[in-house]
């Protein structure tokens, strides 16, 4: 029993000792770690906040802090620096594993990896952050007094739309600005907003100004997307309250360039500004100041310049819907052997997409102010002007139709020919596959001018391939010598050929001398016909179908009348009927009879001019008249009659002369002074009938002279007189006979007048 009690006591004592040892071990484990001799102080948590006017600017936290004895610094572990900003709207964090801290200067240096989170959401809005910028670097320096953080090391950053890298970074709690100091490069992730293409941006430095919600990429800045790129000295992006891009501004000689197998283009301006929707789509683009664009393609070069351009974009597509340019708009297109130039003060264009969304082309365009369009080829220069133009383009971007409105002018210059100018109220132009104009249609008070030639019409149609212009709607043609109206007319502007139909009426102005194109009478000459044709360059015009010409008292009817202006010649063919006035006769004493012959009875006086002039009516198949000669030649069987008598012959020459005129005044009327009939001539005068090969009538003394062949004169009593030549007078019964035996005078009978 004693042994058992002793054993129990030993077990209890041992248990007490074991329990004491266990409690001591637990106490040792629960006690703080022993501080090394080099450590002055060790704490489990560190926190420092900077406060201004009851507002916390930032807070520095660490899970552990160690103060060393021999150094005026502390070691902070698991460090967080949270920046709230002066307005308390920030919630940015700087996080690293370990930093050294100088309590006296307030410097914090973090030599290891550092992560900076720049929150995009506004904490005061109560919305979670869906946008943030994460910056990774090392060797970060932060000062608690200034609240500035910086690192000279390489920087990597990422954000929801992409990532990038740079050299050196600073962060200021004063204005909540992050600065990437050198060699900035940003890569945007392809998306619908980028057309499925990656976008890369580079610059010398970048600033993210949280207070003003602004991002600035300093140049030389470059943004590249596929084969397109933007360069500028500075690119500024303004953010909305949710820190989404709202506007982007490229300034400092910005330029947009693009190149592909189809060509290259460049656009420069003083600045480019883009406006974005909250979803990130482009809404509008503005280019301002000294805008210049150039495009180089295998087929030629284009150039565009203006002062201001605005692009409206399609909703939820980064595609151009329309463009408006204002201020000195100039557009040029140069191709081998051809060039086009547009000038206006305001231009609007709309765009359409091709087979692929990124293949856009111009669909339509309009000038909002008066404009001119000039086209040059080696053969000609065509200039269009109007108060307004509308243009329609093909899916390939080729100009198909052009519409001009109000005060339209079309000016054409070809070689050494005089310029052609046409004006109208409206214009419709079509263009071929090469870009040259194919047709022009002008309507509304159409007026055409070339040298001394003018034309007016209701409508005009010009065809480039055939060089023709067609006028209808009561067209009127005027030159220095004539004026014509016609139902419609077509003119070849190159050859000068013209053809018109329907109610032709022409007037040839009276000339101051006998050198006019038409001079068969006095005053202006008038011509009517069913149609006309001719050549303006040679001055030859043909009037066809019931042609009629009258000038003063002279009248000419025929199937066709041709006038040669330069040759001063007129020709009538087919059923010619002509009426010519006769010059007044100067009837004097009767001729002196030959010796042994009875005296001739005295002549009667010339007809009284108050009763009207003596008119010769002539019928023949053809008539040709020369102004310079004052001569009309008729042939093919001619019949000429008047109060003086009648002559029938194979051919007839009628000689006419104009009365004298005062300087600057028109000459007197053309009148018949002499007529010469040839070939099987038959002359009838009162009751006398004469035959011969030739008969000459002179109006001055009213006589007929028969000659050639066997001249024979028969009277009413069938008395016959023959001779080498026979002369008889209208106003008397005197006959002069010239025979081989000599000359004699016969008085056969009295001619009653």
For residues 646 and 683, the answer to whether their CB atoms sit within 8 Å is yes
How remote is the C-alpha of 6 from its chain's centroid? 126
Report the C-alpha gap between 149 and 168 in whole angstroms.
11
Name residues whose C-beta falls within 8 Å of residue 393's C-beta, 6 or more positions apart in sequence.
361, 362, 363, 364, 365, 399, 400
CA atoms 709, 710, 715, 718: torsion sign? negative
Query: For residue 19, is pLDDT > 60?
Result: no
15-29, 197-211, 449-463, 628-642: segment of lowest average pLDDT: 15-29
Question: CA-CA distances (angstroms) from residue 482 to 144, 253, 254, 565?
Answer: 101, 62, 62, 10
pLDDT tops 80 at residue 739: no
Return d(Cα 677, Cα 706) in angstroms, integer.
9
For 575, residues 6+ apart whose C-beta sits below 8 A from its C-beta are 557, 558, 559, 621
d(C-alpha 83, C-alpha 143), whole Å: 13
pLDDT at 7 over 90: no
Contact 269, 286 (CB under 8 A): no
Determine the Cα–Cα distance for residues 136 and 166; give it in Å rounded to an integer: 10
In the three-class reduction of DSSP (H, G, I as helix; E, B as strand; rest coil), residue 123 is classed as helix
Residue 34 has pLDDT above 90, yes or no: no
Please give the Cα distance from 558 to 101 (Å, whole number).
122
Alpha-carbon dihedral sign for residues 696, 611, 586, 655: negative
Instruction: List Cβ neighbours of 198 (8 Å cut-off, separation of 6 or more).
Output: 187, 188, 189, 190, 225
- Centre a 10 Å sphere on the Cβ of residue 124 and count the other Cβ atoms it contains: 11
Q: What residue ranges in 53-122 does DSSP mark as E strands?
A: 55-68, 74-83, 92-101, 107-119
Residue 728 in this model has a pLDDT that exceeds 90:
no
CA nearest neighbour of 62 among 73, 48, 51, 52? 48
Using pLDDT thresholds of 50, 70 and 90, give the confidence band for residue 3.
Answer: very low
The burial class, CB within 10 Å (0-12 / 13-18 / 19+), for 630 is: buried
Cα 267 versus chain centre, distance: 21
684-723 b/e (C-beta count within 10 Å ≥ 16 → b): ebbebbbbbbbbbbbbebbbbbbbeeebebebeeeeebeb
Q: How far is CA 136 from CA 63, 93, 139, 159, 205, in A?
A: 21, 12, 11, 12, 16
H helix or E strand, kind and range, residue 385: strand 380-386
Q: Does the pLDDT value for residue 598 go beyond 60?
A: no
Taking only Cα atoms into account, the Rg of the chain, rounded to an integer number of angstroms, comes to 55
The answer to whether the CB of 504 falls within 8 A of the CB of 540 is: no
**Equal CATH topology for 39-142 and 582-747:** yes
Query: What is the rounded average pLDDT for all residues in the chain?
Result: 82
Predicted local distance difference test score (pLDDT) of residue 93: 87
Q: What residues does each domain of the chain span? A: 39-142, 582-747
Q: How far apart are CA 201 and CA 79, in angstroms?
A: 33
Average pLDDT of the segment spanning 551-579: 93
Count the Cβ atoms, other than its own, within 10 Å of residue 518. 29
Q: What is the DSSP string of 567-595?
A: TTEEEEEEEEEEEEEBPPP---SPPPPPT
How does strand 228-239 pair with strand 214-225? Answer: antiparallel
pLDDT at res. 333:
86
Enclosing H/E stretch for 8: helix 2-30
Question: Which residues partner with 729 through β-bridges?
Answer: 703
Whether the bond into 174 is cis, omega within 30 of 0 = no
Least confident of 85-94, 390-399, 547-556: 85-94
Max CA pair span of the chain:
227
Cα(338)–Cα(330) distance, integer angstroms: 17
Structure token pair of residue 545 = 């179908």
Residue 529 near residue 501, CB atoms below 8 Å = no
pLDDT at position 516: 59
Q: How confident is the model over 316-337, as a mean pLDDT?
A: 88
Topology of domain 582-747, per CATH? lipopolysaccharide transport protein A fold (2.60.450)
The pLDDT confidence band at residue 747, using thresholds 50, 70 and 90, is low
pLDDT tens string 676-713: 999 999 999 888 899 999 999 998 888 999 999 999 99
Structure tokens at 117: 């989170």
The continuous run of DSSP H or E covering 14 comes out as: helix 2-30
584 or 254, which is more confident: 254
- pLDDT tens across 401-452, in order? 999 999 999 998 988 888 989 999 999 999 888 778 899 999 999 999 988 8
Higher-scoring residue by pLDDT: 167, 611? 167
Phi-psi region of 585 (alpha: psi -120 to 50; beta: other; left: phi over 0): beta
Contacts of 599 (CB under 8 A, 6+ apart): 590, 592, 593
Higher-pLDDT residue of 53, 534 = 534
The DSSP annotation for 299-355 comes to TEEEEEEEEEEEEEE-TTS-SEEEEEEEEEEEEEEEETTEEEEEEEEEEEEEEEE-S
70-109 pLDDT, tens digit per residue, is 566 788 899 998 888 777 777 788 899 999 988 888 888 9
Contact of 632 with 659, CB cutoff 8 Å: no
Q: Find out whether 305 and 322 touch, Cβ atoms under 8 Å.
A: no
* Residue 20's pLDDT band (cuts 50, 70, 90): low
Residues in the chain: 753
Q: Please determine, for residue 142, whether its predicted confidence score (pLDDT) is greater than 60.
A: yes
Least confident of 1-10, 503-512, 549-558: 1-10
Predicted pLDDT of residue 23: 54
Of 256, 263, 269, the residue nearest 221 (C-alpha): 256
Q: Is the pLDDT of residue 624 over 80?
A: yes
pLDDT number for residue 698: 92
Contact (Cβ atoms closer than 8 angstroms) between residue 350 and residue 321: yes
pLDDT digits (tens, 9 = 90+) for 478-498: 888 889 999 999 988 878 899
- Dig out the tokens for 588 from the structure: 């004097």
Q: What is the CATH T-level fold of the domain 39-142, as seen in this structure? A: lipopolysaccharide transport protein A fold (2.60.450)
Distance CA 343, CA 341 (A): 7
Any idea which of 34-43, 196-205, 264-273 has the lowest mean pLDDT?
34-43
Structural tokens at position 627:
């102004």
Q: Tell me, what's the pLDDT at 41?
A: 56
Name the pairing type of β-strands 703-707 and 488-492.
unpaired
Return d(Cα 227, Cα 211) in angstroms, integer: 35
Dist CA 492 CA 466 (whole Å): 7
Q: What percentage of the chain exceeds 70 in pLDDT?
A: 82
With cut-offs at 50, 70 and 90, classify the pLDDT of residue 599: very low
E strand segments, 144-204? 148-159, 162-172, 177-188, 199-203
* Residue that has been written with the tokens 């620096």 in this structure: 81
| 194 CB-near residues (< 8 Å, 6+ apart) | 188, 225, 318
Residue 729, token pair as written in the block: 């007078």
Least confident of 8-22, 68-82, 237-251, 556-570: 8-22
At residue 112, the 3 state secondary structure works out as strand
Q: Do 600 and 591 contact (CB within 8 A), yes or no?
A: yes
Give the pLDDT of residue 743. Answer: 58
For residue 17, the surrounding DSSP H or E stretch is: helix 2-30
Per DSSP, the residues of 488-519 read EEEEETTT-EEEEEEEEEEEEPPPSSTTSS--
Task: Give, as one character, the DSSP assignment of residue 658.
Answer: E
pLDDT of residue 519: 82
């Amino acid at each position: 029993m004693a042994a058992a009690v002793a054993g129990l006591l030993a077990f209890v004592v041992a248990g007490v000792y074991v329990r004491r040892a266990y409690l001591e071990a637990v106490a040792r484990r629960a006690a703080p770690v022993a501080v090394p001799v080099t450590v002055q102080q060790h704490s489990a948590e560190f926190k420092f906040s900077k406060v201004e006017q009851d507002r916390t600017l930032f807070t520095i936290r660490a899970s552990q802090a160690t103060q060393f004895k021999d150094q005026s610094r502390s070691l902070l572990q698991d460090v967080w620096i949270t920046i709230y900003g002066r307005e308390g709207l920030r919630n940015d964090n700087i996080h690293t594993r370990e930093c050294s801290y100088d309590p006296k200067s307030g410097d914090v240096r973090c030599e290891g990896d550092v992560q900076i989170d720049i929150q995009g959401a506004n904490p005061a809005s109560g919305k979670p952050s869906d946008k943030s910028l994460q910056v990774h670097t090392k060797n970060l320096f932060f000062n608690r007094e200034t609240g500035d953080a910086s690192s000279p090391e390489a920087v990597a950053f990422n954000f929801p739309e992409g990532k990038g890298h740079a050299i050196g970074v600073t962060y200021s709690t004063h204005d909540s600005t992050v600065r990437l100091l050198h060699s900035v490069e940003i890569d945007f992730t392809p998306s619908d907003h980028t057309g499925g293409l990656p976008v890369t941006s580079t610059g010398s430095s970048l600033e993210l100004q949280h207070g003003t919600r602004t991002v600035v990429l300093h140049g030389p800045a470059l943004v590249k997307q596929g084969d397109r790129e933007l360069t500028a000295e500075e690119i500024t992006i303004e953010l909305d309250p949710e820190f989404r891009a709202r506007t982007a501004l490229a300034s400092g000689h910005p330029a947009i360039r693009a190149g592909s197998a189809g060509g290259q283009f460049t656009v420069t301006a003083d600045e480019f500004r883009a406006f974005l929707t909250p979803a990130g789509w482009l809404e509008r683009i503005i280019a301002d100041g000294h805008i210049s664009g150039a495009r180089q393609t295998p087929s030629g070069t284009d150039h565009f310049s203006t002062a201001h351009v605005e692009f409206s974009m399609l909703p939820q597509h980064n595609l151009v819907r329309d463009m408006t340019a204002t201020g000195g708009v100039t557009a040029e297109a140069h191709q081998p052997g051809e060039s086009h130039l547009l000038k206006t003060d305001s231009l609007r264009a709309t765009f359409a997409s091709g087979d692929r969304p990124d293949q856009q082309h111009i669909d339509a365009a309009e000038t909002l102010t008066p404009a001119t369009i000039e086209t040059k080829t080696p053969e000609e220069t065509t200039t269009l002007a109007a108060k307004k133009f509308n243009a329609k383009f093909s899916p390939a971007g080729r100009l198909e139709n052009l519409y001009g409105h109000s005060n339209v002018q079309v000016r054409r210059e070809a070689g050494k020919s005089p310029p052609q100018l046409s004006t109208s109220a409206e214009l419709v132009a079509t263009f071929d596959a090469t870009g040259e104009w194919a047709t022009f249609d002008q309507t509304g008070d159409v007026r055409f001018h070339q040298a001394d030639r003018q034309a007016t019409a209701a409508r005009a149609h010009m065809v480039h391939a055939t060089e023709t212009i067609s006028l209808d709607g009561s067209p009127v043609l005027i030159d220095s010598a004539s004026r014509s109206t016609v139902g419609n007319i077509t003119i070849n502007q190159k050859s000068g050929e013209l053809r018109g139909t329907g109610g032709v009426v022409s007037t040839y102005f009276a000339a101051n001398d006998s050198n006019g194109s038409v001079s068969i009478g006095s005053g202006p000459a008038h011509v009517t016909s069913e149609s006309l044709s001719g050549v303006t360059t040679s001055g030859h015009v043909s009037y066809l179908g019931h042609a009629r010409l009258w000038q003063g008292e002279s009248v000419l009817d025929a199937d066709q009348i041709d006038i040669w202006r330069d040759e001063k010649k007129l020709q009538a063919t087919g059923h010619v009927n002509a009426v010519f006035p006769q010059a007044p006769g100067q009837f004097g004493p009767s001729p002196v009879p030959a010796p042994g012959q009875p005296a001739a009875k005295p002549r009667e006086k010339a007809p009284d001019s108050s009763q009207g002039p003596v008119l010769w009516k002539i019928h023949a198949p053809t008539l040709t008249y020369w102004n310079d000669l004052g001569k009309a030649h008729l042939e093919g069987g001619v019949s000429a009659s008047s109060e003086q008598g009648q002559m029938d012959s194979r051919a007839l020459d009628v000689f006419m002369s104009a009365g004298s005129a005062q300087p600057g005044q028109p000459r007197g009327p053309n009148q018949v002074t002499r007529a010469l009939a040839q070939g099987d001539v038959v002359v009838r005068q009162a009751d006398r009938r004469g035959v011969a090969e030739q008969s000459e009538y002179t109006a001055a003394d009213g006589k007929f002279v028969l000659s050639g062949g066997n001249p024979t004169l028969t009277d009413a009593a069938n008395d016959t007189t023959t001779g080498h030549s026979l002369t008889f007078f209208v106003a008397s019964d005197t006959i002069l006979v010239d025979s081989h035996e000599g000359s004699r005078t016969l008085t056969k009978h009295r001619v009653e007048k």
